Amino acid sequence: MSTILSIKNLSKTYASGLTALKPINLDIRQGEIFALLGPNGAGKTTLISIVCGIVTPSGGSVLADGHDIVRDYRAARMKIGLVPQELATDSFESVLATVRFSRGLFGRKPDEAHIERVLRDLSLWEKRNDRIMTLSGGMKRRVMIAKALAHEPRILFLDEPTAGVDVELRRDMWALVRRLREQGVTVILTTHYIEEAEEMADRVGVIRKGELIVVEEKDALMRKLGKKQLTIQLKDALTEIPATLGAWPLELASAGSELIYRFDAKAEDTGIPPLLRQLHELGIAYKDLNTQESSLEDIFVSLVSTRTEAAA
Amino acid sequence: MSALIANPYGLWAIYRFEMARFLRTVWQSLLTPVISTSLYFVVFGAAIGSRMSEMHGVPYGAFIVPGLIMLTLFTESLSNASFGIYFPKFTGTIYELLSAPVSPLEAVLAYVGAAATKSVVLGLVILATASVFVPLHIAHPFAMLGLLIFTAATFSLFGFIVGVWAKGFEQLQVIPMLIMTPLTFLGGVFYSIDMLSPAWRTFSLFNPVVYLISAFRWSFYDHADVNLAVSLGFLLGFFAVCAAVVTLIFRTGYRLKN
């Protein structure tokens, strides 16, 4: 797959002396959905803002579809659409006027058919003549997405697109992102809802204190760092774990009625069969078993916290 | 020019957006200056003006018209242009302008062009209002129009700088209220500086507004308080300074970009 966005040694130190980005290298592939994860203040928004031209980089370079974002900013920016994190809209404008404005601003000649398509896709068509100030927060968010799509960008940045939106809109948003990908649009999103990245992303990047610590296919990341968990529902609750089970890292949960065993899913020997045999020998009866993979969220938390410990 | 304006759609979009803002409140925008100007005519033209002698052969009521138009032109250009760029900074919608393939020149032309357009329209409306109250005579109509447009553009450019600089609504008001209003009132809107004592006259010559009003009044009545060339030099100089500051703002990203 070809690279649509190439970030080389990109760094940013603000005038206050705060280093928001240490030199970052990242290639985004044409047509993928890339999720950028990281705690608050990690540098996600700074990274996006530099690529979109809102923040001036301190060093490094970015090519958007082959165009340097500084030297050839017009061509680069025409390819990029941005939906920022903060809701910022022109309250007094109508939906239609503001979306038309965005298309013109990005150097595209008027195309009412495209605008109608975008507004319909976002369920905004009925509201097209309403003033933005009369819309709900979720609708305003849709308006911002419509503005970002008005000029038919090839790369779309969604900075926390679903922060503070209801479940329905979030689902709509996911559907929209998938449709965009089908049309060949590359989507880069930041999110706090790891569930969202897990659901949507092809690849995941984790950024921490201005450093990109992991960039990986989501599935590979989950396989590599994922743990599995076996939950054994006991017939009779235990007060403590018998000493003969010491070979397994077990935990008691739900007031002693569940035994939890975490294991490495990739290991040849998961340790499950001997554990079950041992339970049988001890006469510990169980009603149910289930295994569960750790979520991207667990992986993310462990990644970020491991690094914190390492840094400390 | 085509190399400089590579994104005419962008320029036009901003210009239209700004004009739409003006048209949404067109009645307030036009009525306020028309009412205040009419009040000036009632008070200074009719009530006081009838007791005033002619100024350089011009009835007093007619004499104050160019100055009143300039007064509106200064304040409206300043506030329109400063508000136009300050408001997106305030609401956060500036992100879109900053991330758009729009060059600084295009952005300035659009914002300043829209602000200047509004002021010129207002200036003409005031001129029309004035003609209802006093007999008007315009000796150099093209020069008058040229000065009107260029002054509006210059003060809109100045307003753009104020809008970028301002960190709050109070600061937006500071320059028009604290600097422009006194300079204009003392700049000969209501009198000719020839009427002042020599000391005050010399002092007045340090007020740049004197030169602008003098030149504009010349275009009406063919009489200038100060040398016309000096006036034009002042206007061009002020324009050049503003243009240089705007260039610097975009080069450094001052208060627009981190």
**Residue A243 predicted with pLDDT over 50:** yes
Ordered by where they begin, the domains of chain A are 3-223 (3.40.50.300), 227-293 (3.30.70.1560)
Contact (CB<8Å) B17/A101? yes
- B16 contact A CB<8A: yes
pLDDT in tens, A245-270: 888 888 888 888 888 888 876 677 78
Residue A176 has pLDDT above 80, yes or no: yes
CB atoms within 10 A of CB A37: 27
Tokens of A153: 């960008």
Measured CA distances, A176 to A34, A111, A140, A198, B257 (Å): 15, 20, 16, 16, 31
Residue A161, pLDDT > 70, answer yes
Mean pLDDT of B62-89: 90
Q: How confident is the model at residue A6 (pLDDT cuts 50, 70, 90)?
A: very high
DSSP-assigned states of every residue in B69-116: HHHHHHHHHHHHHHHHHHHHHHHSTHHHHHTSS--HHHHHHHHHHHHH
* Distances from the Cα of A89 to the Cα of A140, A143, A250, B91, B152, angstroms: 7, 8, 53, 7, 29
Say whether residue A104 is in contact with chain B using an 8 A CB cutoff: yes
Q: Does B95 contact A75 at a Cβ distance shorter than 8 Å?
A: no
Give percent of chain A above pLDDT 70: 94
Interchain pair B101, A78: CB under 8 A? yes
- Comparing A36-50, A123-137, A165-179, B66-80, the range with the smallest average pLDDT is A165-179
Looking at residue B140, its pLDDT comes to 94
Q: Answer yes or no: is pLDDT of B257 > 80.
A: no
Q: What angle do CA A283, A284, A287 make, to 5 degrees?
A: 125
Q: What pLDDT does A312 receive?
A: 42
Q: What percentage of chain A exceeds 90 in pLDDT?
A: 46
What 3-state class would DSSP assign to A211? Answer: strand
Is B99 close to A78, i.e. CB distance below 8 A?
Answer: no
Q: Which of B70-84, B145-159, B177-191, B219-233 has the lowest mean pLDDT?
A: B177-191
pLDDT at A224 over 90: no
Q: Residue B10 and residue A105: Cβ atoms within 8 Å?
A: yes
Residue A294 has a pLDDT of 67
Beta strands of chain A (E only): which ranges? Answer: 3-13, 19-29, 33-37, 59-64, 67-68, 80-83, 155-159, 186-190, 203-208, 211-217, 228-234, 250-253, 258-263, 286-293
Query: Looking at the partner chain, which of A15, A90, A104 has a beta carbon nearest the beta carbon of B10?
Result: A104
Which tokens hold the place of B156?
């809109």
Residue A149 contacts residue A118 (beta carbons within 8 Å): yes
Task: Note the pLDDT of residue A306.
Answer: 61
Looking at A158-162, A241-245, A255-259, B48-52, which range is the least confident one? B48-52
According to the model, what pLDDT value does residue A200 have?
87
SS3 B6: coil
Could you give the CA distance from residue B11 to residue B15 in angstroms, rounded to a whole number?
Answer: 6
**A15 CB near a chain B CB, below 8 Å?**
yes
Question: What does each C-alpha distance from B24 to A297, B28, B93, B175 come to in angstroms?
Answer: 49, 9, 19, 26
Average pLDDT over residues A181-193: 89
> Alpha-carbon distance A312 to A164, whole Å?
33
pLDDT score recorded for residue A79:
95
Question: What is the C-alpha separation between A157 and A53, in angstroms, rounded?
Answer: 12
Which B residues, 94 through 133, put their C-beta within 8 Å of a C-beta on chain A? 95-103
Residue of A nearest to B91 (CA): A88
CA quadruple A97, A103, A108, A110: dihedral, nearest 10: -30
Percentage, residues of chain B above pLDDT 70: 98
Contact B17, B116 (CB under 8 A): no
B57 near A CB under 8 A: no
Chain A residues whose CB is inside 8 A of the B10 CB are 104-107
Per-residue pLDDT reduced to its tens digit, B13-25: 999 999 998 888 8
The 10s digit of each residue's pLDDT in A85-119 is 888 888 889 999 999 999 999 999 999 999 999 99
Contacts of A82 in chain B (CB under 8 A): 95-96, 99
Q: CB within 8 A of A107, min separation 6: which ones?
A: A74, A78, A151, B6, B7, B9, B10, B100, B101, B102
Cα angle value B12/B14/B20 (rounded, 5°): 100
A86 neighbourhood in chain B, CB within 8 Å? 92
ipTM: 0.87
Q: What mean pLDDT is predicted for residues B222-249?
A: 90
- Inter-chain CB pairs, A–B, below 8 Å: 85
- The answer to whether residue B9 neighbours chain A at the CB level (below 8 Å) is yes
Q: Looking at residues B93-102, what average pLDDT do you find? A: 93
Residue B56 or A66, more confident: A66
Cα distance between residue B188 and residue A121, in whole Å: 60
Nearest 5°: phi and psi at A184?
Answer: 90, 10
Contact (CB, 8 A) for A140 and A87: yes
Q: Which residue of B has its CA nearest to A105?
A: B10
SS3 B118: helix
pLDDT at B1: 43
Assigned token pair, A126: 């009925």
Q: Do B101 and A108 touch (CB under 8 A)?
A: no
- Confidence band for A311, pLDDT divided at 50, 70 and 90: very low
Label residue B136 by pLDDT band (50, 70, 90).
confident
Paired with A259 in beta bridges are A232, A252
Q: What is the mean pLDDT of chain B?
A: 88
Q: Give, in degrees to the nearest 5, the angle at Cα B147 between B146 and B149.
A: 65
What pLDDT, on the 0 to 100 scale, is given for residue A1? Answer: 67
Predicted local distance difference test score (pLDDT) of residue A307: 54
pLDDT attached to residue A166: 80
| Contact between B164 and B98 (Cβ < 8 Å) | no
User: What confidence score (pLDDT) does residue A236 get?
Assistant: 87
